[in-house]
Amino acid sequence: MNTTIATRKSGTLEVSAIGLGCMGMTYSYAPFPEKKDMISLLAKAVEMGVNFFDTAEVYGPYNNEELVGEALKPFRNKVVIATKFGFNIEDGKMKGVTGKPERIRAAVEGSLKRLQVETIDLLYQHRVDPTVPIEDVAGTVKDLIAEGKVKHFGLSEAGANTIRRAHAVLPVTALQSEYSLWTRQHEAEIIPTIEELGIGLVAFSPLGKGFLTGAIDEKKSFETQDIRYNLPRFTQEARIANKALVDLLTAIGAKKNATAAQIALAWALAQKPWIVPIPGTTKLHRLQENIGAASLQLTTEDLAEIEKASAQITIVGNRYTEAQERATGL
């Protein structure tokens, strides 16, 4: 099952053009599969050429890192593992953001153990803590790099000014933020900023939390543990309205002998050579489908058609609820 996936530079890291977001294997997208099946899937991903894997201490909490650590231990010298700090965790639940240096250090020690590694390849601040100067956060990670516990520093969902301030203390390798054909707000200020600074963009939810695959219609129901259960963009009315975007991707895909998901991923890849999407999946056929997008070439005409048609489509629904925005800085 060995496959060659093109690699690309995202900041100073060279990784497979398509990474794998592991969150949904234990968190946010219930019901969750058996651990042994996910260990097998992660091994297959490596065999198929994926070498960039994303997790976080808060996914679970903790059990996602444990899963990734166990599954990828046999491939340690072949893979780049990214994880994140940035939340208080009490009684197994996320309790707001924190960027306190002592909490960062505690999080890193825990992540090193769970991931079964000596060094974290890429460490993100999961969400910015407005009560702690970003210079203190970057300075703490700089010390951790000097101690050999971390290799690269990243931010997630940070604003342009925060990125600049952090980068002045410690070069930021990558920004992880939501980016897809239906979530494009970062094009105004964030993407020009990181391009100027030589920072890569790791795009989470590049398939719109599954919606852009075409597998979610107005009849789909979500379990209460599924993050989409309460999201404004996933109400029945919103799904009906937003189907126009899926129809566009499907139509383009029909011309290219590709699926809607592959067109969505190829679109993201085509925007900048340093954008790396990290779609998540728990299914082997979806993994194979996503990887296939790395070799799909969209022409200038294809991209212009997508741009023109998508500009006529109004996306209905915010990506998060107001409570989620307040609680996690989303």
59 annotated active-site: yes
Residue 69: both structure tokens together: 């650590």
Q: Which of 27, 29, 59, 62 is catalytic?
A: 59
Q: How far apart are CA 26 and CA 64, in angstroms?
A: 6
Is-contact 181 310, C-beta < 8 A?
yes
> How would you classify the pairing of strands 120-125 and 150-156?
parallel
Is-contact 71 39, C-beta < 8 A?
yes
Catalytic residue numbers, as ranges: 59
